[in-house]
Amino acid sequence: MPLYTEQQLTIYNSITGKKEPFESLLEGYVGMYVCGPTVYSNVHLGNVRTFMSFDMIFRYLKHLGYKVRYVRNITDAGHLTDDADEGEDKIAKKARLEKIEPMEVVQQYTVDFHNILNKFNFLPPSIEPTATGHIIEQIELIKKIIVNGYAYEKNGSVYFDVVKFNKDHEYGKLSGRKLEDMIANTRALTSQSEKENPQDFALWKKAEPQHIMRWPSPWGDGFPGWHLECTAMSTKYLGEQFDIHGGGMDLKFPHHECEIAQNEAALGKEPVKYWMHANMLTLNGQKMAKSTGNSINPGEIFTGESKHLTKGFAPSVARFFILQTSYRSIMDFSNDALLASEKGFNRLMEALKIAKSLQTSNKSTFDVAAWKQSCYNAMNDDFNTPILIAHLFDGVKQIHLVKDGKVELTENDLKLLINTMNAFVFDVLGLENGDAFAKADDSKLNGTVELLIKLRKEARENKDFALSDKIRDELIELGIQLKDGREGTTFTVN
């Protein structure tokens, strides 16, 4: 029997505002759609955090035995600079500034996106569709919305009629907004605007002569609105109704709200059973922003080439750190927090090594089965990774107690403990043993420390004990302990 028949998963549903038991629309199968990146720049660390949350969710659903179709799109057209219906396409703007083709921009940053996610050990989605690859589907969706009376064409552009839609449906139910309040707080339309109401949004925009990215349509050459692509691709690959739709908290309004409206207007159905949103990420207690210098990109974490970091960190250390906060909570990123996570990560990996060589007994004084269920209880409670990690460290504690002869485990219980630890650490959390990262840096580290040992030896021979002590003390601060002996000086890394 698959694990999902034994474990009752609950999910916080953004549209109802409460945790609900998870029941897939089709038993044993899960359809999950997550809004992917707009590939006009390097992937943002906050986006990585969101995608990592859904990678973890994807992993746990698979672990429970579900067959999951995970769709994560690439937005490579139609996303305007102000995230509304005016301005310039972000990709086209980048192409114009760099004097290259828009698809060169798309290729460059799609490759960067995949490289970063690979370093963090993400599983690839089942399908990764692009907006430009589904222009036909988007045009057909617009036709349905027009036929159903919820959209209108103006001068080659097509707009969704929010006011008319709200008469028969509830626009704003995901974000908790009321259309009346939105109208009251909106400035009147300018004479240049083609919209009938300020809240209306573009399904299709007419391409001006200078607009690079354009496609033919029944309304003339143009490009799709930002919100439309996700409706078209999610319904194509997951059906008119599916289980989970995820994304960052910032997408709840207007993007996801507009998706719901489009689905209901075109197909007459609520598209999603469970809406899930990952929260924001801050840096040193403040909002991340390039304009203020309070920002860091994922690649800088690995190299340490940032004013916010004292060193580089292994991708799995950063992943471990990120998963120590619930996906629904704001997470603060800092050098000190990463250093603490590195110690915890190394302790976890060391315990897994120790566990392989533990002596067993004919009885157990630790209830491994109950501990195992506590790990599942944490994940079943809306994917509570911080509590799961706390339970894993309880397992680490028991491993050390067994090693010290203070706790006994039978052979079967030791095997259960190890298998459970491995399943949650590697399969569910997606961590990787730090050995590979360490080996890649071993030669550089050894060479650097040996050079410092040589300089320290010369300083001592020259009776420059202040310099000698400074080298030793600063290495200690970095976690490198020197040991002087008859055969010379050796070192260990803590």
**pLDDT value of position 69:** 98
Q: Rounded to whole angstroms, how far apart are CA atoms 259 and 171?
A: 10
| Amino acid identity at 208 | E
Q: Look at domain 9-278 and name its CATH class.
A: alpha beta
Q: Rounded to whole angstroms, how far apart are CA atoms 1 and 143?
A: 45
Same fold, 9-278 and 282-428: no
pLDDT in tens, the chain (494 residues): 999 999 999 999 999 999 999 999 999 999 999 999 999 999 999 999 999 999 999 999 999 999 999 999 999 986 665 556 777 788 888 888 899 999 999 999 999 999 999 999 999 999 999 999 999 999 999 999 999 999 999 999 999 999 999 999 999 999 999 999 998 887 766 656 789 999 999 999 999 888 888 999 999 999 999 899 999 999 999 999 999 999 999 999 999 999 999 999 999 999 999 999 999 999 999 988 777 888 899 999 999 999 999 999 999 999 999 999 999 999 999 999 999 999 999 999 999 999 999 999 999 999 999 999 999 999 999 999 999 999 999 999 999 999 999 999 999 999 999 999 999 999 999 999 865 444 445 566 778 888 899 899 888 889 898 898 889 888 888 878 888 876 688 777 76
* Nearest alpha-carbon partner for 89 in 80, 98, 99, 97: 80
pTM over 0.85: yes
* H/E run at residue 481: strand 480-485
130 C-beta neighbours (distance < 10 Å), count: 18
Whose structure tokens read 């067993």?
360
**pLDDT value of position 134:** 97
DSSP secondary structure string for all residues of 302-329: HH--STT-SS---HHHHHHHHTTS-TTS
* Nearest alpha-carbon partner for 284 in 331, 317, 322, 329: 331
Instruction: Write the CATH number of the domain with boundaries 282-428.
Output: 1.10.730
**pLDDT value of position 436:** 42
138, 228 contact by CB (below 8 A): yes
Neighbouring residues of 345: CB distance < 8 A, sequence distance ≥ 6: 314, 316, 317, 320, 431, 434
**pLDDT value of position 316:** 97
Q: Rounded to whole angstroms, how far apart are CA atoms 138 and 219?
A: 13
List the domain boundaries for the chain. 9-278, 282-428, 436-493
Q: Rounded to whole angstroms, how far apart are CA atoms 427 and 439?
A: 22
* Nearest alpha-carbon partner for 49 in 252, 426, 325: 325
**pLDDT value of position 42:** 92
Q: Rounded to whole angstroms, how far apart are CA atoms 391 and 385?
A: 10
258, 230 contact by CB (below 8 A): no
